[in-house]
Structure 1
């Protein structure tokens, strides 16, 4: 490399000298005033250029030996490096053989201990996963860090486990079993359902559940945080959580009923996903709301009829106990016909009494037909919702196939919910209609009985 640089330097010097000579020659040519002068200048320039070329050749020959020496040095350096590479390669192969021999000897000496360490490494990995998802880690964090380092060190090299490491794994397993049988309270930061954070007293029930502020909590292993369940289970489960929170440890051992999740949160997550009553009603869609509106109208009518017939029945019962007819009840108005038509014959009196009874019947049976209609129409509307939901289901099957059941769940839910709502409205309406009809017929029968008695009494007097 150095020889090449020097050659480049000589060539550059030569070109610069030629350029200077040409420039000088051009200057002298400009100053010449005759052909003789010009010829003389040319001869002088040729002589000067010849001397410069000889000088350059002498310099080049003087440095040639130096270039040969540099080339020889580079050749020697290359040969030395090749020799060193050969020696290193031979040493590497010898080391590989020696390492394999020593590894075989180590394996033979380890014997069954190698299997023991393999099982120990597997146990450490499994325990690490268990600790990550255990609610006990909410109170005792960082337990899986040692197990992770131990499993990686055992797997990445032939390092043997020390007695201290084995005892520490034993200690962590024993502590997990011991803590799983305890109900412990501790303070830590809890993420509330609205996203805010608050320091709360958390009650840990073994390695099963966490509760605080009368609510169930979940341990998020990815972030190591504790958060309230966005959706809590039904009231009967929250009641047990409230009892557990209200228990006072200072009063000694207490027995508290608690809804325990033995799976560590899996069953609880399924419970909170179950829809509540409002969500089930919402699944019915517009048809479900129509059924509920009709049911509400039917209940209002039934309530009004119950009150009206109850009041009328009490007045009729009071009228039965007195001989003086009153105008504030149907029986009294019917009995007044006896006094109003004293002189008429029996047939005429019977017709007048029948007329009075017929006037009272519409008031006693008013709007009962509407309740019957609601009891019949509600299941029919539910059937309409069922048919609509099944149509949506079959459309989803046509478009997307049957691979994903969630696509069909919406239509099936609407079909089933509307049917249930229709039956929920229709069944009570049938009973209510029967009760009200029976009550109104009972009052009408009293009117008819009293009317027949008046006719019989008049007939006896006439005979």
Structure 2
């Protein structure tokens, strides 16, 4: 493996660095974007029961807010519920903007890696071919070993760049779709909370 990396030239260093960074982002996002962490099951029913029974204390509000992204939105809505429906919705929208920003954390970096690693591979290809033609100009076509070295460098960097870019692109799209789904679910839960608090909907948490 080390010989293969060495044969690819110095451009293998940034490609490998990109692969390590992409792997770290993927692992972190897989943990952070778990549905059970972002949208705990039964949270809205639990919150409403506490509100209805008068047991919603500031300590419990802080706990709910810190436990999940949906909790951040729910608490923001409850804090402004006494000011009317529209103010409550605005508070929820403001909190949701911050939550979405956190859910999309590092996704731009993953997308950048997916975009630049093929270009790094292409650059390696160009450098390898330049070396090949330079040797042809100096030595002619008689030294097959030198020519093969330049061609192998070109092919190795291209393959390495694509090997990093393809899974990075697939996972970037997957995480974007996952965030969109989570945001839609949180939006539906928030609307349900607003309507229940202001008596526009029967209590139904199914």
Q: Same fold, TM exceeding 0.5?
A: yes
CA contact (8 A) 1:388 1:415 kept: yes
Match runs of 1:160-179 below 5 Å: none
Q: After superposition, what is the alpha-carbon deviation per residue over 1:346-400, rounded to whole angstroms, capped at 9, x for unaligned?
A: 2222111101111211211111110000000000011111100000000001011
For structure 1, list consecutive stretches of 5 or more residues without a partner in the other structure.
1-276
Most deviating of 281-290 and 447-456: 447-456
Matches of 1:377 and 1:440 in 2, distance apart?
A: 23
Deviation track 1:295-322 (CA, whole Å, cap 9, x = no partner) reads: 1111112111111222x63352334474
Residues 1:397 and 2:136 aligned together: yes
Provide closer, same or farther for how the CA distance between residues 322 and 347 of structure 1 changes in structure 2, counting only shifts above 3 A. closer
Does structure 1 residue 289 correspond to structure 2 residue 28?
no
Distance in 1 between residues matched to 2:171 and 2:46, nearest whole Å: 34
Q: TM-score, normalised by structure 2?
A: 0.81
TM-score, normalised via structure 1 length: 0.38
Query: CA separation in 1, counterparts of 2:15 and 2:140?
Result: 32
Please name the residue that 2:174 is paired with.
435
Task: Tell me if 1:445 matches 2:187.
Answer: no
Between the aligned partners of 1:315 and 1:387, the Cα distance in structure 2 is 45
Query: For the pair shown, which has the larger CA radius of gyration, 1 or 2?
Result: 1
**Would the aligned equivalents of 2:110 and 2:172 in 1 still touch at CA under 8 Å?**
yes
Give the Cα–Cα distance (whole angstroms) in 2 for the partners of residues 338 and 323 of structure 1.
Answer: 15
Is the Cα–Cα contact under 8 Å of residues 44 and 189 in structure 2 kept in the other structure? no
**Residues in 2 aligned to 1:459 and 1:355: alpha-carbon distance in whole angstroms:** 23
Within the candidate set 27, 34, 40, 1:317 is matched to 40
Runs of 4+ in 1 over 4 A off after TM superposition: none
1:279 aligns with 2:3: yes
1:300 counterpart = 2:24: yes
Distance in 1, matches of 2:21 and 2:111, equals: 12
Q: Where do residues 134-173 of structure 1 align in structure 2 (5 Å cutoff)? A: none
Higher helix share: 2
- Kept in 2, the 8 Å contact 1:337–1:353? The answer is yes
- 1:32-431 aligned within 5 A: 277-310=1-34, 313-314=36-37, 316-320=39-43, 322-324=45-47, 326-327=64-65, 328-431=67-170
* Number of equivalenced pairs: 184
Deviation at 1:459, TM superposition (A): 7.2
Tell me the secondary structure at the aligned position of residue 164 of structure 2. Answer: helix
